[in-house]
Amino acid sequence: PYNGKGILLTGAHALETLAKVNHVVFDKTGTLTYGKPVLQRTVAFSNVDEQRCLLLAASLEQASEHPLAQSFLSRVAGTDLLAVPRRAQNLPGKGVSGAITGVRYTLGNAALAGFEPVALPDDLPEGATLVWLCDERHTMAVFVLSDGLRPQARELVVQLKAAGVQVTILSGDAADAVAHVAAEAGIESWQAALRPEDKLKALRELQQRGDVVAMVGDGVNDAPVLAGADVSIAMGGGTQVARASSDIVLLTENLLDIQRALQTGHASISVMRQNFAWAIVYNLLALPFAAVGMIPPWLASIGMSTSSLVVVLNALRLR
């Protein structure tokens, strides 16, 4: 059901579990940030010029669903792209690889590059995401991208902490980029350079210590951890896999809807308890009188209808 506030519930247990959540875990890219990184700079390390490196990167990204893909594809005209890579592979938490004109390339994080670190310029933007392009022999280029923090992120974190909810970031991005976003959002607990299985392991550790965890994500890499969370929330603009793995979808992508969802969960449980209490009290008082004939049938019918109306009107307060 859609609650009219930008929240689509797809899991039957979602409302009940939301009322118990005491820890919210966020992915970074596309969740706390817009997920639309802007390519700021290309640094080439080989005899291949920056434009050729960008063309190779964009051509590789034709096989990717990651938010970073559009950052490259938008910089190259579709007619200029090379053929879709052969034997293309999406490597969750790392990047993408494929063969172009007989040469195998990789595009992704430093773990995927696999070569000795290359000296980087000193004037890179703080918190930038670095994406490495490599062939089979060496590092060819690094692409410097930046992604803005969603405007509601910091306010949401303040609200969650005020409600006694812990907040953590689990991200596959490099430590510098995650640390920068965490500082901007006011989040002290974060982990970086995590593969999908690492995120799931970290989530299980939180659950094992007794936390009821809500996971918020948007991408293919988040699907396993979304499925493993006590309750999962996907961004409306995320991938189909992420939305299918989640219990709640944020249709407006307004992060403050997460706090509203938690409040709705608490309110729903409270209203259900009130309705149960009313039904028990009413029946305990009315049934004995009806059984001994002290209440005529017509009055008992009115009383039952009134009791049902009270329950419905009380539930309508959740709207």
Give the integer Cα–Cα distance in Å for 119 and 113. Answer: 14
Domain boundaries 7-34+150-262, corresponding CATH code: 3.40.50.1000
Look at residue 231 in the predicted model and tell me its pLDDT. Answer: 95
Instruction: Determine whether 27 is an active site residue.
Output: yes
- The pTM is what? 0.81
Give the integer Cα–Cα distance in Å for 153 and 174. Answer: 20
Please tell me which residue in 27, 211, 230, 257 is annotated as part of the active site.
27
Look at residue 179 in the predicted model and tell me its pLDDT. Answer: 95
Give the integer Cα–Cα distance in Å for 288 and 173. Answer: 66
Whole-Å CA distances, 183 to 32, 178, 190, 194: 12, 9, 10, 19
96 near 148, Cβ under 8 Å?
no
Q: Which CATH class is domain 38-146?
A: alpha beta
Look up residue 99 and give its two tokens: 């063969």
Look up residue 159 and give its two tokens: 């609200």
Give the integer Cα–Cα distance in Å for 77 and 246. Answer: 35
Give the integer Cα–Cα distance in Å for 237 and 72. Answer: 19
Look at residue 251 in the predicted model and tell me its pLDDT. Answer: 86
Q: Which residues of 221-236 are buried (b: 16+ CB within 10 A; e: fewer)?
A: bbbbbbbbbbbbbbbb
Look at residue 273 in the predicted model and tell me its pLDDT. Answer: 79
Look at residue 5 in the predicted model and tell me its pLDDT. Answer: 63
Look at residue 305 in the predicted model and tell me its pLDDT. Answer: 81
Q: Edge to edge, what strands does the sheet with 103-108 contain?
A: 38-44, 139-146, 129-134, 103-108, 95-100, 86-91
Give the integer Cα–Cα distance in Å for 318 and 16. Answer: 14
Give average pLDDT by consecutive 10-residue segment, the chain, 319 residues: 67 86 95 90 90 94 82 84 84 87 90 77 86 91 93 96 97 91 97 92 97 89 89 84 83 90 83 79 78 76 78 70
Element (H, E) at 224: helix 223-228
Closest CA to 14 of 314, 261, 253, 315: 261
DSSP letter for each residue of 242-295 = HHHH-SEEESS--THHHHHHHHHHHHHHHHHHHHHHHHHHHHHHHHHHHHTTSS
CA angle 97, 192, 142 (to 5 degrees): 45
Give the integer Cα–Cα distance in Å for 133 and 236. Answer: 30
